[in-house]
């Protein structure tokens, strides 16, 4: 295509934006020359046009230092010749100078403004990509520690400031409450890029919309290099992400922005890349539902449809019979926009070289590292012979680079949403293997695929050795010269590839799991990961060496709060945490959290609560912190703050079942049964929750949770759910735990009229005969459920007198008087014992049970006309009276003895009605008068 001849209008700046974004995206699908190559008029019309074009070309070639050397001198501030400035003052002056350079003579439109924006934007992107090359993708090269070009005189000033200014750049990130996690280089490049992009954004954001996308990426880079999720960075990420999706999350907007400059089918690349990066950002912050939406949009934009199926195949070398293997079927289609096919072989020879050089670190099957095949050998359904090696169905689908990145993002999503046990790796396996089937992959895509495989195989004993070899090869491959930096930058923001310090940390942790502690110790020492270093020394029994090493490092860098916190961890001395707060200007959230835990261990709950409030004010995206804050607030009797804290915890991590349980318990204490029910519903959904990347079994399988749940359900009138919760308590406790009082309340409700039964699961008011019949049916169903529970208790042998009494009432409600009498008789017998006649409450229960037993005998006799039950009642009463008299022999004349006051009252109520009934039915004899005389 041809550009407008004279003047270029907005074409040049948007061409620069497009070319810079293309540096991090797959090559365009068309093999033709880029149409933007024709847009060269600014080179003839403005002196800065050539500078901008040269800087952009250097970025495209991966020569980021050359791009900075070309662009930065045009907006550097004037430095006095007497003494160098501090880092903070210099970068403040740099931002002011860059903004002044962008404004020029006051014109914010036209050719000059666009050329100046292009110069600053290319410098910012060059600095960001240089940082990514040095700390993420490799290969590491020698860069100046300063992202700006200086004269020889300036170099003499700045030569001694490298460590000081890098420390300032790291401390700038610490101001958000988090610490840099590991040893990174070129930290000033991040500060430089942020300042330059902010300057461009502050002028006229409608002229350079991609600046929000770059700021979104920059914020995610900052989040990836700190040790914990940051609430301040989260706000930035959300702001820039939303702006990016508004402009580039829709194909129509992308086409209108770059319409004359795009290749056929290239617009869908930008849409899918924007949605993919948004999904990765939400995944990073554990926002699973939002991540799912963005990933679906990315798959739709790149024409990808995923499904899982089973195909017969072999998983091990010596396997004889083919077994069903779960594989991923990736169906590709044209983009929904109707654009042409976005076919991708790569557009340049360099791309092809990059793809072919990005070979996997996984050893081949011939290496015989493990008898487990790296990928299952699939067979056709009609041929299951192990001697054949038919063409795998999965190899037939050739995926574009964006589609491969989307599959890996889906794999990460599956790992986060699935259970955390030995089977979770098998859920991820089809996605990993689908990338392994591809002949051509970009470097970062292949690297992430290998990392996911390593994480999976390191959990299995039969493949752990291969995982260790894979990790070693992967760490070594980063330092290789090929692929070059420009090709490694492709999709670097579209996959969740770890930083080099994070990758080496994983390598060290894998070495520890294999028992190679010494080598891991050297890795952690080089990365300045002091917590991991302390852990290694503790494994070796050399805690004193860890203390000496940290003290030695403190003597070199006394203003590093991480060192003081680590020293506090190893010595359990609060003074070191206070020192960390001092050197960080009260910005170290970790130090505040450590002091809060220490106060909690001293049972100083109020002080701990105050410290947690300060720590969470610095960084609120810390689920364990909110949970701990809720705990200390509960201990401090501040129930409202406890509820609020646990609520924030579940907002950050919705699968934290322990927090849901605590919310429910607090609502129970405050008498809010309905709110407690809703919280318990969430609590019992989750079997486990995560903390510090470790799986902890949650109390979904604990009977206490379900017992509390049953109580609040009964308070809300949900009888059926109450009984289901009681049944769960029985099952989880092996029939050893049951709440008799709760079952008593339920039985009382069921013994009432059916219209009085309140069931929150959908009971309707009784307004007709059909409604009454339905309500009666529900009552009978509830009776059946409680009967099953009582029978389960009785069969387990854990029943007591109360259970037998409830069991008898249930039989009576069902109309089975014979079974009712048998249950009452067992209740009476369970109450008998040596302490019966000396325990007033127990004797009262015994008398009441005997009374109910005799009444049931009378009902049976009245209904059947049999005298057998009457004689049984007579014998039971005689036996009970004799035992009572024998147990209290010699004490009848003691008027001050109050032991028999209650038994006399109970027996009087028992004998009189039974005596009159017996006289009317049998003239044989009367029951002896009470009390018996000696």
- Please, is 875 exposed, middle or buried when counting C-beta atoms within 10 Å of its C-beta (0-12, 13-18, 19+)? exposed
Task: Give residue-wise pLDDT tens across range 480-514.
Answer: 988 999 999 999 999 999 999 999 999 999 999 99
pLDDT at 658: 85
- The mean-pLDDT minimum among 27-41, 409-423, 430-444, 511-525 falls in 27-41
pLDDT at 344: 40
Angle at 259 between CA 256 and CA 264, to 5 degrees: 125
Rounded Cα distance, 10 and 229, in Å: 39
The answer to whether residue 335 scores a pLDDT higher than 70 is no
Q: Reply yes or no: is the peptide bond before residue 67 cis, omega within 30 of 0.
A: no
**Most confident listed range (244-253, 873-882, 907-916):** 244-253
Residues with Cβ within 8 Å of residue 838, at least 6 apart in sequence: 887, 899
Q: Which residue has the higher pLDDT, 158 or 663?
A: 663
Phi first, then psi: what are they for 316, rounded to 5°? Answer: -120, 165
Q: Helix, strand or coil for residue 256? A: helix
The answer to whether residue 760 scores a pLDDT higher than 60 is no
Q: What pLDDT band is residue 424 in, cutting at 50, 70 and 90?
A: confident
Quick check: 686 and 698 in contact, CB under 8 A? yes
Angle at 725 between CA 719 and CA 727, to 5 degrees: 105
The answer to whether residue 591 scores a pLDDT higher than 50 is yes
pLDDT at 795: 84
Rounded Cα distance, 666 and 180, in Å: 37
pLDDT at 766: 43
How much is the pTM?
A: 0.78
Rounded Cα distance, 364 and 347, in Å: 29
Rounded Cα distance, 365 and 372, in Å: 9
Task: Give residue-wise pLDDT tens across range 546-580.
Answer: 899 899 989 988 988 989 999 999 899 999 999 99
* Residues in a beta bridge with 694: 691
Above pLDDT 70, what percent of the chain? Answer: 78
Q: What pLDDT band is residue 901 in, cutting at 50, 70 and 90?
A: very low
The answer to whether residue 89 scores a pLDDT higher than 80 is yes
The answer to whether residue 338 scores a pLDDT higher than 70 is no
Quick check: 299 and 366 in contact, CB under 8 A? no
pLDDT at 753: 53
Mean pLDDT of 257-265: 88
The answer to whether residue 893 scores a pLDDT higher than 80 is no
Q: Tokens in use for 663?
A: 């919310």
pLDDT at 711: 83
**What single DSSP character describes residue 321?**
S
Q: What pLDDT band is residue 36 in, cutting at 50, 70 and 90?
A: very low
Residue with tokens 């009276």: 881
**Most confident listed range (85-94, 634-643, 686-695):** 634-643
Quick check: 523 and 508 in contact, CB under 8 A? yes
Q: Which residue has the higher pLDDT, 9 or 767?
A: 767
pLDDT at 419: 60
Q: Which residue has the higher pLDDT, 367 or 797?
A: 797
Q: Tokens in use for 345?
A: 């072989």
Rounded Cα distance, 295 and 284, in Å: 13
Q: Tokens in use for 445?
A: 């895509």
pLDDT at 44: 46
Quick check: 636 and 247 in contact, CB under 8 A? no
Q: What pLDDT band is residue 886 in, cutting at 50, 70 and 90?
A: low
Q: What pLDDT band is residue 844 in, cutting at 50, 70 and 90?
A: confident
Residue 775 CA, distance from chain mean position: 44
pLDDT at 43: 45
The answer to whether residue 831 scores a pLDDT higher than 90 is no
Instruction: Output the furthest CA–CA distance in the chain (Å, rounded).
Output: 132
Quick check: 675 and 643 in contact, CB under 8 A? no
CA separation, residue 106 to residues 12, 75, 99 (Å): 20, 16, 11
- Domain map (residue ranges) of the chain: 11-148+160-301, 302-497, 836-934
**Most confident listed range (442-451, 547-556, 581-590, 828-837):** 442-451
Rounded Cα distance, 387 and 397, in Å: 25
The answer to whether residue 926 scores a pLDDT higher than 90 is no
Q: Tokens in use for 911?
A: 């004998």
Do β-strands 688-691 and 372-378 pair in parallel, antiparallel, or remain unpaired? unpaired
Angle at 244 between CA 239 and CA 249, to 5 degrees: 130
Quick check: 265 and 340 in contact, CB under 8 A? yes
The dihedral region occupied by 914, where left means phi > 0, alpha psi between -120 and 50, and beta the remainder, is: alpha
The answer to whether residue 9 scores a pLDDT higher than 50 is no
Rounded Cα distance, 41 and 911, in Å: 117
Mean pLDDT of 153-180: 75
Quick check: 54 and 70 in contact, CB under 8 A? yes
Residue with tokens 């009582």: 790
**What single DSSP character describes residue 390?**
P
Phi first, then psi: what are they for 917, rounded to 5°? Answer: -70, -40
Residue with tokens 């990765």: 280
Q: What share of the chain is helix, strand, coil (3-state, %, to 5)?
A: 65, 5, 30
The answer to whether residue 41 scores a pLDDT higher than 50 is no
Task: Give residue-wise pLDDT tens across range 108-165.
Answer: 566 788 899 999 999 999 999 999 999 999 999 999 888 876 544 455 555 567 788 8
- The mean-pLDDT minimum among 85-99, 243-257, 515-529, 745-759 falls in 745-759
The answer to whether residue 81 scores a pLDDT higher than 60 is no
pLDDT at 392: 46
pLDDT at 131: 97
Inter-axis angle of helices 561-571 and 530-539, nearest 10: 30
Rounded Cα distance, 464 and 475, in Å: 17
Q: Helix, strand or coil for residue 858? A: helix
Inter-axis angle of helices 605-618 and 589-601, nearest 10: 160
Task: Give residue-wise pLDDT tens across range 370-392.
Answer: 788 988 988 864 444 444 443 44
Q: What pLDDT band is residue 336 in, cutting at 50, 70 and 90?
A: very low
Q: Tokens in use for 339?
A: 């654009």
Task: Give residue-wise pLDDT tens across range 267-301.
Answer: 999 999 999 999 999 999 988 889 999 999 999 99
Residues with Cβ within 8 Å of residue 899, at least 6 apart in sequence: 837, 838, 840, 888, 891
The count of other CB atoms within 10 Å of the CB of residue 389 is: 11
Closest CA to 431 of 328, 362, 331: 328
- Please, is 56 exposed, middle or buried when counting C-beta atoms within 10 Å of its C-beta (0-12, 13-18, 19+)? buried
Rounded Cα distance, 11 and 111, in Å: 10
**What single DSSP character describes residue 293?**
H
The answer to whether residue 623 scores a pLDDT higher than 80 is no
- The mean-pLDDT minimum among 180-184, 222-226, 740-744, 773-777 falls in 773-777
Rounded Cα distance, 275 and 901, in Å: 82
Do β-strands 323-332 and 304-316 pair in parallel, antiparallel, or remain unpaired? antiparallel
Closest CA to 139 of 628, 487, 589: 487
Above pLDDT 90, what percent of the chain? Answer: 40
Average pLDDT along the chain: 80
Beta-sheet strands, E only, within 698-763: none
User: Which H, E and C letters describe 797-828, residue by residue?
Assistant: CCCCHHHHHHHHHHHHHCCCHHHHHHHHHHHH
In 104-260, which residue ranges form alpha helices assigned H by DSSP? 111-132, 152-158, 162-174, 187-203, 210-225, 231-248, 251-258
Q: What pLDDT band is residue 333 in, cutting at 50, 70 and 90?
A: confident
The answer to whether residue 933 scores a pLDDT higher than 80 is no
pLDDT at 345: 35
């Amino acid at each position: 295509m041809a550009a407008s001849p004279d003047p270029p209008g907005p074409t040049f700046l948007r061409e620069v934006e497009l070319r810079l974004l293309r540096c991090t995206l797959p090559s365009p699908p068309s093999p033709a020359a880029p149409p933007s190559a024709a847009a060269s008029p600014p080179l003839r019309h403005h002196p800065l046009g050539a500078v901008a074009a040269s800087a952009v070309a250097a970025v495209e070639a991966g020569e980021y230092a050359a791009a900075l050397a070309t662009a930065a001198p045009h907006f550097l501030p004037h430095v006095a010749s007497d003494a160098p400035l501090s880092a903070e003052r210099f970068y403040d002056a740099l931002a002011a100078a860059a903004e002044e350079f962008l404004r020029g003579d006051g014109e914010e439109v036209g050719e000059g403004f666009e050329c100046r924006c292009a110069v600053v934007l290319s410098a910012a992107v060059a600095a960001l990509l240089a940082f990514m090359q040095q700390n993420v993708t490799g290969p590491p090269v020698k860069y100046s520690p300063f992202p700006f070009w200086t004269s020889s005189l300036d170099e003499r000033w700045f030569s001694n400031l490298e460590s000081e200014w890098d420390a300032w750049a790291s401390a700038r990130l610490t101001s958000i409450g988090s610490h840099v996690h590991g040893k990174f280089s070129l930290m000033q490049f991040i500060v430089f890029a942020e300042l330059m992009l902010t300057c461009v954004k502050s002028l006229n954001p409608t002229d350079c919309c991609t600046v929000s996308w770059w700021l979104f990426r920059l914020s995610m880079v900052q989040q990836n290099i700190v040790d914990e999720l940051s609430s301040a960075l989260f706000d930035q990420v959300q702001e820039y992400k939303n702006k990016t999706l508004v402009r580039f999350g829709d194909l129509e907007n992308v086409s209108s922005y770059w319409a004359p400059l795009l290749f056929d089918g290239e617009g869908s690349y930008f849409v899918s890349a924007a949605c993919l990066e948004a999904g990765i950002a939400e995944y990073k912050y554990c926002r699973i539902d939002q991540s799912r939406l963005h990933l679906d949009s990315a798959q739709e934009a790149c024409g990808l449809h995923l499904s899982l199926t089973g195909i017969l195949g072999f998983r091990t070398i010596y396997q004889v019979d083919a077994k069903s293997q779960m594989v991923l079927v990736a169906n590709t289609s044209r983009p929904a926009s109707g654009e042409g096919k976005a076919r991708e072989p790569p557009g340049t020879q360099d791309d092809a070289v990059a793809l072919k050089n990005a070979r996997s670190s996984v050893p081949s099957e011939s290496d015989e590292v493990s008898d487990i095949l790296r990928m299952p050998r699939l067979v056709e359904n009609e041929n299951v012979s192990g001697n054949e090696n038919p063409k795998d169905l999965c190899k037939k689908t050739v995926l574009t680079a964006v589609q491969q990145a989307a599959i890996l993002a889906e794999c990460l999503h599956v790992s986060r949403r699935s259970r955390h046990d030995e089977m979770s790796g098998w859920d991820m396996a089809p996605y990993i293997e689908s990338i392994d089937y591809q002949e051509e992959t970009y470097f970062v895509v292949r690297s992430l695929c290998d990392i996911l495989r390593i994480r999976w195989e390191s959990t299995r004993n039969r493949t752990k050795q291969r995982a260790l070899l894979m990790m070693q090869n992967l760490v070594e491959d980063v330092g290789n010269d090929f692929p070059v930096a420009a090709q490694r930058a492709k999709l670097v923001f579209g996959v969740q590839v770890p930083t080099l310090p994070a990758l080496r940390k994983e390598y060290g942790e894998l070495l520890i799991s294999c028992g190679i502690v010494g080598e891991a110790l050297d890795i952690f020492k080089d990365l300045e990961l002091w917590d991991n270093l302390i852990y290694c020394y503790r494994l070796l029994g050399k805690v004193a060496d860890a203390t000496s090493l940290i003290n030695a490092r403190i003597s070199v860098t006394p203003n590093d709060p991480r060192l003081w916190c680590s020293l506090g961890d190893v010595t359990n001395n609060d003074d070191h945490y206070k020192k960390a707060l001092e050197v960080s200007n009260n910005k170290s959230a970790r130090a505040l959290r450590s002091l809060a835990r220490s106060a909690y261990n001293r049972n100083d709950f109020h002080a701990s609560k105050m410290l947690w409030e300060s720590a969470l004010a610095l960084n609120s995206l810390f689920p364990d912190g909110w949970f701990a804050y809720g705990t200390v607030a509960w201990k401090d009797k501040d129930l409202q703050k406890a509820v609020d804290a646990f609520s924030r915890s579940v907002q950050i991590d919705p699968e934290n079942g322990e927090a849901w349980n605590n919310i429910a318990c607090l609502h129970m204490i405050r008498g809010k049964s309905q709110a407690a029910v809703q919280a318990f519903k969430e609590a019992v959904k989750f079997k486990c929750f995560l903390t510090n990347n470790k799986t902890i079994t949650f109390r979904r399988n604990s009977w206490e949770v379900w017992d509390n749940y049953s109580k609040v359900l009964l308070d809300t009138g949900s009888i059926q759910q109450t009984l289901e919760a009681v049944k769960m308590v029985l099952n989880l406790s092996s029939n050893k735990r049951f709440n008799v009082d709760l079952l008593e309340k339920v039985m009382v409700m069921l013994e009432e009229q059916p219209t009085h039964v309140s069931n929150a699961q959908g009971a309707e008011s009784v307004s007709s005969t059909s409604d009454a019949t339905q309500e009666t049916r529900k009552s009978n169903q509830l009776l059946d459920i409680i009967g099953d529970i009582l029978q389960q208790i009785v069969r387990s042998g854990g029943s007591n007198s109360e259970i037998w009494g409830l069991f008898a009432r249930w039989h009576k409600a069902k109309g089975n008087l014979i079974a009712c009498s048998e249950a009452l008789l067992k209740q009476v017998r369970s109450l008998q014992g040596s302490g019966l006649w000396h325990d007033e409450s127990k004797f009262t229960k015994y008398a009441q049970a005997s009374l109910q037993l005799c009444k049931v005998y009378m009902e049976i006799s009245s209904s059947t006309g049999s005298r057998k039950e009457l004689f049984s009642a007579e014998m039971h009463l005689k036996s009970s009276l004799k035992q009572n008299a024998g147990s209290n022999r010699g004490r009848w004349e003691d008027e001050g003895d109050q032991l028999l006051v209650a038994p006399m009252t109970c027996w009087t109520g028992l004998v009189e009605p039974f005596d009159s009934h017996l006289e009317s039915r049998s003239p044989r004899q009367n029951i002896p008068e009470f009390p018996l005389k000696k």
